[in-house]
Structure 1
């Protein structure tokens, strides 16, 4: 289950968690490197952060994802194509508008001017939609592709996309993350060392390598956040490095970064099997 991640300057994949690393710099932009672990538990979306706004009953099947096979996590490399799709059961060809806003590490509005993070328009019509045909439930399917001719995100960071109706009323909102790979990260996932949760929790440990960055105070300038799959509610933030080794930061906590494994936790022991 545990794979070592050491691919420099690109997306790194594993099984179950995402670790985001942002660092403060003079340009105030969020820079990040993400680790993906690909086993999927049920995501509960209430609001650990208030940027998630649930839709009315007639809006269904919301999917915000990068255009990569089998990737449904809304964490996207800068410049990579991604899409937002949803269905409107009213099937009236409502004219919906999208709006993209930049947020800081704590999911608060960053205060950046639109021109600092968007080339083109931060708000525009969703022009690609079509009605269902010969279905029991009529609906209109909407498909927004980004970046497009009118909207191109130009810096990494936390973002929120908001969908508005023709009366400029909020319909729903979803967070997503744009990242730029600038560091190398190694991560491992272990069984909990607490006897009470030995078979029910995972512990995450990781190392950040930044040989090509000038960072004077890593504990203050580098911020980390660990996400379990797409669950915005169980994020573990503000984790300080436990050890320093040159241009390496080590996060080797025994139980500080732990998650309930859910029904995906499986342990296989062959010591008692006779051949």
Structure 2
């Protein structure tokens, strides 16, 4: 009994101190970590992964969150999942597990399948996230049951309740110098139906805007430009342009649902004895070019296997080769960027310059499917765009360009900490699209 008590205390202390609260894969043998709401009977639908992990707290029974991932060791291992609660800034809250969970907050992941007829063998795991009590920000932590200090990956998700009404719209920037490049979100927050006490609305409500489901493209700490107390309305207009985002460009994409022939934007498939190699069509900078309209997933991806339509266990992993034809950029790192890597710029998706090729090239192991991506840089580099003047801090704009016509999705999150509560709650959520094709 004493041993069990000490174990629980140690485990609780460890998770309170050591776990990251970002989307990240720590163990490189973990791959294709998906977290999505299960909408209706979409268990085998490849498009299910385009549903981002945000659920109304009242819909958890009918729309549970589902985790899927692959273990490339191809050996069955025991994994466990634990949930941590975070405030609006994604710092761990002070809540105890019993304050936001209905059951014991440490569960085994027992549902798995073995890959079928793939050159790269793997175990595919599936786990349904249990119901939770409070709306807010959460992080799902998966760790090795044999070593609780070995965290394998973490995934963020959100539960919301609609206690306030959000009205929002998107337009091009009111800044004359950026009206052809940026998009501006203006919104109002109506809290007349909010039942909790609000003493200082401009301080009590925390508004966050996110572009294309990317936490690295989020704006925090927005302040209302107009407080209409009698109408119980907050207005957020573009006085300081903090609610302005670079428009970006439509995402590049490629299709590897089949490895028997070349599909869209795949230059070559090499079917070797021990692996498949897919060469994505070589790209060039698009920032000097005019905007071109085409459909995309706004940076997301789907896993699919064209021959069987059972991508979960029959889709193979391919050594996917990215090529960007551009002169070498001194003191700069270049990356193939997308949701497949949680938008992180690290060694996994870094490209290296090849003088004989005349560009940058890199390989990433990706499961078969349809992927959106773009090219990003870090460092201080001269601009490529026609309108740029002076040095530019490296990002996606340098190679891809920014256009105010680009189709993008935006989300507005409204947080508030009710009286006597000990953590922030997500009390309002709204999604809006700009330039949606019909």
Interval of TM-score (by shorter of Structure 1 and Structure 2): 0.7 to 0.9
1:167 aligns with 147
Q: Determine which structure has more spread, i.e. the larger CA radius of gyration.
A: 2
Work out the CA distance in 2 between the residues paired with 1:181 and 1:70. 24
CA distance in 1, matches of 2:404, 2:177: 16
Structure-2 residue corresponding to 1:62: 33
SS at match of 2:24: coil
Structure with greater helix percent: 2
Alpha-carbon distance, 1:210 to partner = 1.1
Map 1:162-241 to 2 at 5 A: 162-165=141-144, 166-168=146-148, 169-213=150-194, 214-241=197-224
Stretches (4+) displaced over 6 A? none
Aligned to 1:158: 137
Distance 1:116 1:126, change over 3 A: same
Whether the 8 Å CA contact 2:183–2:404 is kept in 1: the answer is no
Q: Where do 1:1-275 residues align within 5 Å?
A: 51-68=22-39, 71-78=50-57, 79=60, 80-147=63-130, 152-165=131-144, 166-168=146-148, 169-213=150-194, 214-245=197-228, 246-254=231-239, 255-264=241-250, 265=403, 267=405
Task: Tell me, yes or no, if the aligned pair for 2:182 and 2:404 is still in contact at 8 Å.
Answer: no
The DSSP-based 3-state class of the residue aligned with 1:120 is coil
Shift of 1:84: 1.1
Structure-2 residue corresponding to 1:14: none
State the aligned residue count.
216
TM-score with structure 2 setting the length:
0.47
CA contact (8 A) 2:174 2:238 kept: no
Q: Which runs of 5+ in 1 are unaligned?
A: 1-48, 269-275
Matched with 2:274 is: none
Aligned CA distance change for structure 1 residues 50 and 122 (closer, same or farther; 3 Å): closer
Distance 1:118 1:174 in 2: 17
In structure 2, how many angstroms separate the alpha carbons of the residues matched to 1:111 and 1:164? 22
How many angstroms apart in 1 are the aligned matches of 2:23 and 2:38?
A: 22
Displacement of 1:266: 6.2
* Contact kept? 1:131, 1:141, Cα under 8 Å: yes
